[in-house]
Amino acid sequence: MALRRALPAPPGRRRALAGRRLDGPERHPGVGSRGRRARPEGTSGHGRPAGGRLRGAGSGLEGCRSHLRTARGAARACRIGPGGVGQGGSRPREGLPRVGGEAPMKIRPARARRGDVPPAWVFVALGGVLFAAGALAVSLLPERFHPQCGFHAVSGHPCPTCGATRSVLLLARLRPLDAFRTNPLFASAVAVVLLWIGAGVAARLAGRNLYVEVGAREEKWWWFALLGAFLVNWVYLWRAGV
């Protein structure tokens, strides 16, 4: 079998090959002729100096420490306080949302300003005035025209609101104990509402608005307590035969 001897390439071909080899590194510094990034001078293949020590180790560790310090500061500033998210101390950070239910229930008198949302006691007072006017109008009618409870007429037992009208009339006659015996829950609610309205009027005369702030967690427990009081009051009315 005859061996073929490799002939040298023509001069023009050699010049073309040499130009192709030099094309990558000349046009793209740091990239070799085969698309690989060229090694920096004085380093090994893994980015280490020729002596074997990591280059820039001190600066890298210092960067890690700085990052940790920044992260701790952000966590300290954004930790959850008693008033919600974003309280590093006692003052909330602006721009961060509050979590509903984290702040405890509180009564807050705020300085009255034009355009503020009216507090709830204003609407409660209007509703109470209308209810009292209706109860007074009913009391002036003969007894045969008084509205009858449909649940009591069908079942013979009182409904959860039976005795409410009589309780209001007894309160108007300054007989609070008799009003409480007639319907304890309704009489207590009327007393609380009257105190709330009085406090709201006093705050308004002082140039402030009275607000009651309840978080989501407290609101849930308040609804449970109200439902329990409603059921207990109904049992009392049932046993007392109101």
Q: Please tell me the predicted confidence (pLDDT) of residue 212.
A: 72
pLDDT tens digits for the chain (242 residues)?
455 555 555 665 655 555 555 444 444 454 544 545 555 555 555 545 554 444 444 555 555 555 555 555 555 544 444 444 444 444 444 443 444 444 556 666 666 666 666 666 677 777 777 877 777 777 777 777 777 778 888 888 888 888 888 888 888 788 889 989 999 999 998 888 888 888 888 877 887 777 777 777 778 888 899 999 999 999 999 888 77
Q: Please tell me the predicted confidence (pLDDT) of residue 89.
A: 43
Q: Distance of CA 19 to CAs 25, 28, 39, 41, Å?
A: 11, 14, 21, 23
Q: Please tell me the predicted confidence (pLDDT) of residue 184.
A: 92
Q: How many CA atoms lie within 13 A of 100 on its CB side?
A: 7
DSSP secondary structure string for all residues of 35-79 = SPBPPPTTB-TTS-BTTSSPTTHHHHHHHHHHHHHHHHHHHHHT-
Q: Name the residue among 124, 123, 146, 151 with its Cα closest to residue 136.
A: 146
Give the chain's count of helices (H) and strands (E): 8, 2
Residue 34 within any structural domain of the chain: no
Length of the chain counted residue by residue: 242
Residue 94 within any structural domain of the chain: no
Q: Name the residue among 190, 187, 195, 196 with its Cα closest to residue 121.
A: 196
Q: What domain range includes position 164? A: 108-240
Q: Distance of CA 97 to CAs 24, 71, 72, 82, Å?
A: 54, 20, 20, 14
Contact 172, 136 (CB under 8 A): yes
Number of domains in the chain: 1
Residue 218 within any structural domain of the chain: yes
Residue 119, Cα to own-chain centre: how many angstroms? Answer: 21
Residue 42 within any structural domain of the chain: no
Residue 173 within any structural domain of the chain: yes
Q: Please tell me the predicted confidence (pLDDT) of residue 234.
A: 92
CA distance 65 to 12: 59
Residue 102 within any structural domain of the chain: no
Residue 14 within any structural domain of the chain: no
State the pTM of this model.
0.47
CA distance 68 to 71: 5
Residue 69 within any structural domain of the chain: no
